[in-house]
């Protein structure tokens, strides 16, 4: 059912020339806008920030994801800390532009029709990065197939494999139908790795996949780049051969087996991506190393994640930066020049963001926090390895140090995946412990439904950003980067990005590396009691200097402009001067 390119152009509002997109970025989740619930957490926010930076830096990039008509989920918490979940239906028809082509892909032995929607991300100079949302909700599909693009990370492994087939194979088919001819296909995590089979099918052009030659495989590899995000083997997507055969059919399953995409008797999506990529990377220095050990037969590079500065810096601070370092929007590296801003100006802009956080807490919980008291925030997915309850391992000590040091206000937020009982237990424990500990000196609140806008308010308005992952489970982490850009230092175990970002006493503090969790908690209390709280309450000028260094030193590096520059140089077009030169005219023209 391919549609001629003329029809595509006719239906396409901005008449873009699809051929000019040289990089196709595939991600199961993308945080495109706060009111589009097609993301669950860090992976989707990273994808969205990547696209926003691609638009700012005029990269010829197009993105592909699923439409997720029912979103991820809205979290509700009962007074005693039990999480319940609700769908987040949204209306793509009202918010996206329809595209003409419909592609047919084979799932479970029959054709499933995939259509697409488009939303443009517009950069600082007007450059456009289109996001293609794949959708199977067509009345020509049967009821089961129509629901394949409903729930992000919903359903069971069978549903997931069907979704990954839509993303990978459907995405390649739609791009081809649009007339896109990307040079680079970037898989953001293994969910997208079936795109390689889509490309291999195009390569063998109707032939049997099992007859693909080494040259065919190399042709696919020459286009593919893979970013892995998970530092533990159990985190990688795997499916039984049985399921693979049911969903993908015998030929593709045998081909995947023949080409080394299986591991421990399972189809392993990470191995699919590894096998078919010419460049592979982890998302921080240590994560690259850990991944190399996990996949010794592959050369795994590292490109440390970042965040999109203009998305995450709070409005009051943005105004200050526009005055003092106007180039920061086009080039986030200029945040380094925040070192030339007076610390008290940074502190006063941060106070505005802090008041916003305080009023959000009041609106949502009825609890009034004090502006002149220290606010510590802990907000992230409630996964067991993040150890949200480490602060409560010695409640008496926490209560005592809050009283002796001048007061602590703690704001929590975070969702547990609906199937993650351990994560739900942690939320329950935090809320229970909070209820017992609340006093004049120690105020603890847990905010419902952590998502984009709440994340921005928290990372912008807190005084300290806390993170306590069990090493080496945090591949990168990005919320601390958002905090840093807002002048908010971190206290964290040395894991993920913090290994690179922590300059002790200058950009924040490290929780000591101990084998034993009690000792780590001990170090957490000790840093709060002996260094952080005394500095905050008694040496405000020194504190403001730390805020400034967080922005200047960490903000200027841990951003997606720098990250994308590294992808272009090392992953997309390594050593390929003619191709890289191709960007330059575009960069100049759009200014």
What is the binding site for ligand PLP (CB under 6 A)? Answer: 41-42, 45, 380-381, 450-452, 455, 477-479, 482
Q: Across-strand partners of 268?
A: 238
- The DSSP H or E segment spanning 234 is none
CB of residue 450 to ligand PLP, shortest distance in Å: 5
Contacts of 101 (CB under 8 A, 6+ apart): 1, 2, 3, 8, 115, 116, 174, 177, 178
Comparing C-alpha atoms, which of 532, 541, 490, 518 is closest to residue 402? 532
**CA angle 468-189-556, nearest 5°?**
60
Tell me how far CA of residue 196 lies from CA of 248, 261, 277, 457, in angstroms.
13, 11, 9, 39
CB of residue 196 to ligand PLP, shortest distance in Å: 27
Residue closer to ligand PLP (CB basis): 182 or 306: 306
Distance CA 146, CA 142 (A): 6
Could you write out the three-class secondary structure of 341-368? CCHHHHHHHHHHHHHHHHHHHHHHHCCC
Residue closer to ligand PLP (CB basis): 41 or 306: 41
CB of residue 455 to ligand PLP, shortest distance in Å: 3
CB of residue 468 to ligand PLP, shortest distance in Å: 11
CB of residue 424 to ligand PLP, shortest distance in Å: 17
Residue closer to ligand PLP (CB basis): 283 or 553: 283
Bridge-based pairing of strands 224-227 and 300-302 is unpaired
Judged on CB neighbours under 10 Å (0-12, 13-18, 19+), 253 is buried
CB of residue 477 to ligand PLP, shortest distance in Å: 4
Comparing C-alpha atoms, which of 105, 158, 179, 156 is closest to residue 135? 105
CB of residue 459 to ligand PLP, shortest distance in Å: 7
Residue closer to ligand PLP (CB basis): 201 or 451: 451
Residue closer to ligand PLP (CB basis): 41 or 407: 41
CB of residue 449 to ligand PLP, shortest distance in Å: 10
Residue closer to ligand PLP (CB basis): 465 or 572: 465
CB of residue 451 to ligand PLP, shortest distance in Å: 5
- β-sheet with 508-511: strand ranges across: 442-447, 408-413, 374-379, 464-467, 490-493, 508-511
CB of residue 378 to ligand PLP, shortest distance in Å: 10
Bridge-based pairing of strands 266-268 and 442-447 is unpaired
Phi-psi region of 153 (alpha: psi -120 to 50; beta: other; left: phi over 0): left
The 3-state DSSP class for residue 160 equals: helix
Judged on CB neighbours under 10 Å (0-12, 13-18, 19+), 577 is exposed
Residue closer to ligand PLP (CB basis): 130 or 455: 455
Tell me how far CA of residue 488 lies from CA of 72, 313, 327, 545, 547, in angstroms.
29, 11, 22, 11, 6
Contacts of 216 (CB under 8 A, 6+ apart): 200, 203, 204
Comparing C-alpha atoms, which of 169, 157, 146, 156 is closest to residue 70? 146
Residue closer to ligand PLP (CB basis): 243 or 281: 281
Relative orientation angle of helices 195-204 and 250-258, to the nearest 10 degrees: 100
CB of residue 489 to ligand PLP, shortest distance in Å: 15
Residue closer to ligand PLP (CB basis): 162 or 377: 377
Residue closer to ligand PLP (CB basis): 185 or 450: 450
Residue closer to ligand PLP (CB basis): 136 or 291: 291
Distance CA 200, CA 246 (A): 20
CB of residue 55 to ligand PLP, shortest distance in Å: 19
Distance CA 551, CA 336 (A): 7
Question: Are residues 480 and 490 in contact, defined by beta-carbon separation less than 8 angstroms?
Answer: yes
Residue closer to ligand PLP (CB basis): 380 or 424: 380
Distance CA 564, CA 582 (A): 16
Comparing C-alpha atoms, which of 501, 494, 549, 503 is closest to residue 523? 494
CB of residue 150 to ligand PLP, shortest distance in Å: 21
Residue closer to ligand PLP (CB basis): 455 or 555: 455
Residue closer to ligand PLP (CB basis): 398 or 413: 413
CB of residue 188 to ligand PLP, shortest distance in Å: 14
Residue closer to ligand PLP (CB basis): 452 or 572: 452
Bridge-based pairing of strands 490-493 and 508-511 is parallel
CB of residue 340 to ligand PLP, shortest distance in Å: 28
């Amino acid at each position: 059912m391919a549609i001629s390119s003329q029809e595509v152009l006719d239906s396409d509002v901005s008449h873009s020339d699809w051929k000019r997109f040289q990089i196709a970025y595939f991600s199961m989740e993308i945080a495109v806008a706060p009111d589009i619930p097609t993301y669950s957490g860090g992976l989707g926010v990273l994808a969205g920030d990547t696209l926003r930076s691609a638009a700012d830096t005029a990269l010829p990039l197009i993105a592909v994801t699923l439409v997720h008509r029912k979103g991820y989920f809205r979290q509700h918490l009962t007074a005693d800390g039990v999480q319940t979940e609700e769908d987040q239906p949204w209306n793509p028809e009202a918010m996206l532009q329809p595209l003409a082509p419909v592609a047919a892909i084979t799932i479970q032995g029959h054709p499933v029709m995939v259509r697409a929607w488009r939303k443009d991300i517009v950069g600082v100079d007007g450059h456009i990065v289109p996001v293609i949302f794949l959708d199977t909700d067509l009345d020509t599909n049967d009821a089961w197939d129509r629901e394949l693009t409903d729930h992000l990370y919903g359903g069971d492994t069978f549903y997931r494999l069907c979704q990954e087939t839509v993303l990978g194979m459907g995405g390649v088919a739609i791009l081809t139908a649009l007339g896109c001819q990307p040079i680079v296909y970037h898989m953001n995590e293994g969910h997208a790795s079936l795109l390689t089979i889509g490309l291999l099918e195009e390569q063998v052009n109707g032939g049997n996949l099992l007859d693909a030659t080494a040259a065919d495989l190399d042709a696919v590899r020459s286009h593919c780049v893979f970013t892995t995000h998970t530092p533990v083997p159990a985190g990688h997507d795997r499916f039984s051969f049985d399921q693979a055969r049911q969903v993908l059919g015998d030929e593709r399953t045998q081909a995947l087996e023949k080409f080394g995409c299986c591991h421990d008797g399972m189809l392993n999506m990470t191995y699919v991506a590894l096998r078919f990529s010419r460049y592979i990377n982890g998302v921080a220095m240590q994560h690259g190393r850990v991944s190399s050990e996990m996949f010794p037969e592959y050369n795994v590079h590292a490109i440390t994640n970042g965040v999109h500065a203009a998305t995450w810096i709070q409005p009051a601070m943005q105004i200050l930066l526009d005055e003092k370092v106007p180039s920061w929007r086009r080039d986030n590296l200029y945040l380094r020049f925040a070192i030339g801003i007076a610390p008290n100006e940074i502190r006063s802009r941060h106070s505005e963001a802090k008041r916003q956080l305080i009023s959000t807490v009041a609106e949502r919980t009825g609890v009034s926090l004090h502006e002149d008291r220290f606010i510590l925030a802990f907000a992230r997915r409630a996964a067991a390895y993040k150890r949200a309850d480490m602060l409560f391992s010695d409640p008496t000590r926490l209560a005592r140090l809050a009283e002796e040091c001048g007061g602590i206000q703690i704001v929590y937020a975070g969702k547990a995946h609906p199937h993650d009982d351990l994560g739900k237990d942690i939320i329950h424990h935090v809320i229970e412990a909070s209820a017992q500990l609340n006093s004049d000196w120690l105020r603890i609140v847990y905010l419902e439904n952590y998502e984009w806008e709440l994340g921005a308010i928290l990372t912008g308005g807190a005084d300290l950003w806390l993170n306590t992952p069990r090493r080496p489970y945090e591949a990168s982490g990005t919320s601390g980067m958002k905090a840093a850009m807002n002048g908010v230092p971190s206290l964290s175990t040395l894991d993920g990005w913090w290994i690179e970002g922590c300059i002790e006493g200058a950009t924040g503090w490290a929780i000591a590396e101990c084998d034993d969790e009690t000792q780590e908690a001990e170090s957490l209390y000790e840093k709060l009691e002996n260094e952080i709280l005394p500095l905050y309450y008694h040496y405000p000028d020194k504190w403001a200097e730390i805020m400034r260094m967080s922005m200047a030193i960490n903000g200027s590096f841990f951003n997606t402009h720098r990250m994308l520059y590294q992808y272009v140089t090392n992953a997309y077009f390594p050593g390929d001067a003619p191709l890289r030169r191709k960007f330059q005219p575009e960069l100049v023209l759009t200014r």
